[in-house]
């Protein structure tokens, strides 16, 4: 009897390959598609942090007693810059509390010689980024 050399794939092998590809390909493609979709996020984050640092530099150039650094709660403002539409910002200036716990929670805490400045920037996707600084009244 002559031995036959079988070359190629059987129908069963091809069907198994198609089924396995149908199961594995979506598992590989979905994370890749998500990664491509979010590839712009680093640029948005960098822009938001740049704008926050820029706004913080404006605040920290002032003296402790300047009216710009008067204590106030968080308040949102409009767009930050015409070159970067849809980036909103907020600022807050508060006295840094002393170690005296009796003053904690009071409506107007005493001036301790330190003010905490918060600048918050919200990107077009709604994510917020915070920058903090402390301004002192001491020489």
Task: Find all residues with CB under 8 Å of 78, minimum gap 6, and list them.
Answer: 88
Average pLDDT in the 38-57 region? 87
Q: In terms of pTM, does the model score above 0.75? A: no
The two structure tokens encoding residue 69: 């650094």
Task: Find all residues with CB under 8 Å of 65, minimum gap 6, and list them.
Answer: 137
| C-alpha–C-alpha distance, residues 114 and 111, integer Å | 7
In this predicted model, what pLDDT tens digit does every residue of 87-102 receive, in sequence order?
999 999 998 887 755 5
In this predicted model, what pLDDT tens digit does every residue of 61-75 receive, in sequence order?
999 999 999 999 998
Phi, psi values for residue 123, rounded to 5°: -80, 170
What is the Cα Rg of the chain in Å?
29
* pLDDT > 80? residue 57: yes
Using alpha carbons, select from 134, 68, 61 the residue that is nearest to residue 96: 134
Are 112 and 98 spatial neighbours (Cβ–Cβ below 8 Å)?
yes
Q: Where are the domains of the chain?
A: 41-99+110-136
- In this prediction, residue 56 has a pLDDT band, given cuts at 50, 70 and 90, of very high
pLDDT given for residue 30 in this prediction: 83
Phi, psi values for residue 67, rounded to 5°: -60, -25
Per DSSP, helices labelled H in the chain are: 11-37, 41-60
Q: In what order do the strands lie in the sheet with 72-81?
A: 72-81, 84-95, 114-122, 128-136
């Amino acid at each position: 009897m002559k031995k036959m050399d079988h070359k190629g794939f059987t129908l069963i092998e091809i069907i198994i390959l198609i089924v396995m590809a149908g199961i594995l390909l979506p598992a590989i493609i979905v994370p890749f598609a998500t990664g491509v979709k979010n590839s712009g996020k680093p640029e948005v984050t960098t822009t938001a942090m740049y704008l926050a640092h820029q706004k913080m530099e404006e605040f920290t150039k002032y003296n402790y007693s300047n009216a710009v650094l008067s204590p106030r709660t968080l308040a949102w403002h409009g767009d930050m810059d015409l070159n970067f539409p849809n980036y909103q910002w907020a600022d807050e200036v508060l006295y840094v509390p002393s170690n005296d716990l009796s003053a904690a929670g009071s409506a107007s805490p005493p001036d301790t010689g330190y003010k905490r400045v918060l600048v918050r920037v919200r990107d077009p996707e709604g994510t917020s980024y915070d920058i903090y600084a402390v301004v002192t009244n001491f020489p």
